[in-house]
Structure 1
Amino acid sequence: MLDAFERWALVENACRRAGRWLDPHQRQRIEDRAEADHRRFDALMREIRARLDG
């Protein structure tokens, strides 16, 4: 899972690319989505490893 700094960095980079700052509610939604994406990726990698090992 992403730690707080990694989530902050992802959001800051997204804001810079978008050329604007987000309000706290928008920022939290992006952080939550990034965390969920990261969890899904980890689950997928575990499944792939299990299939390759099994």
Structure 2
Amino acid sequence: MKLISAKHVITGSIIGALIGMALSKSSSKNMKNILVKKMVAKKLTSLISKLLG
């Protein structure tokens, strides 16, 4: 159980960092890009939770 929670924390932090980098690189005014990236982030997190769960 401890390994799974550690993996969740590590993968979550990596995804958060990648999304933060992508958002900072793109123009913050473009709402479509932000919404798309949020959807992609949700899909990634659900995929990872399925793989680890």
Give the TM-score range, shorter chain: 0.5 to 0.7
The 4+ residue runs of structure 1 with deviation greater than 6 A are none
Distance between the aligned counterparts of 1:19 and 1:25, measured in 2? 11
TM-score, normalized by length of structure 1? 0.52
RMSD: 1.9
Asked if 1:15 is matched to 2:11, the reply is: no
Max Rg structure: 1
Percentage of matched positions with identical amino acids: 9
Match of 1:32 in 2: 39
Higher RCO, Cα 8 Å, sep 6+:
2
Q: Gaps (5+ residues) in structure 2?
A: 1-15
Distance between the aligned counterparts of 2:26 and 2:32, measured in 1? 18
TM-score, normalized by length of structure 2? 0.52
Q: Gaps (5+ residues) in structure 1?
A: 1-9, 47-54
Match of 1:7 in 2: none
Residues 26, 19 of structure 1: CA spacing in aligned structure 2 closer, same or farther, 3 A cutoff?
closer
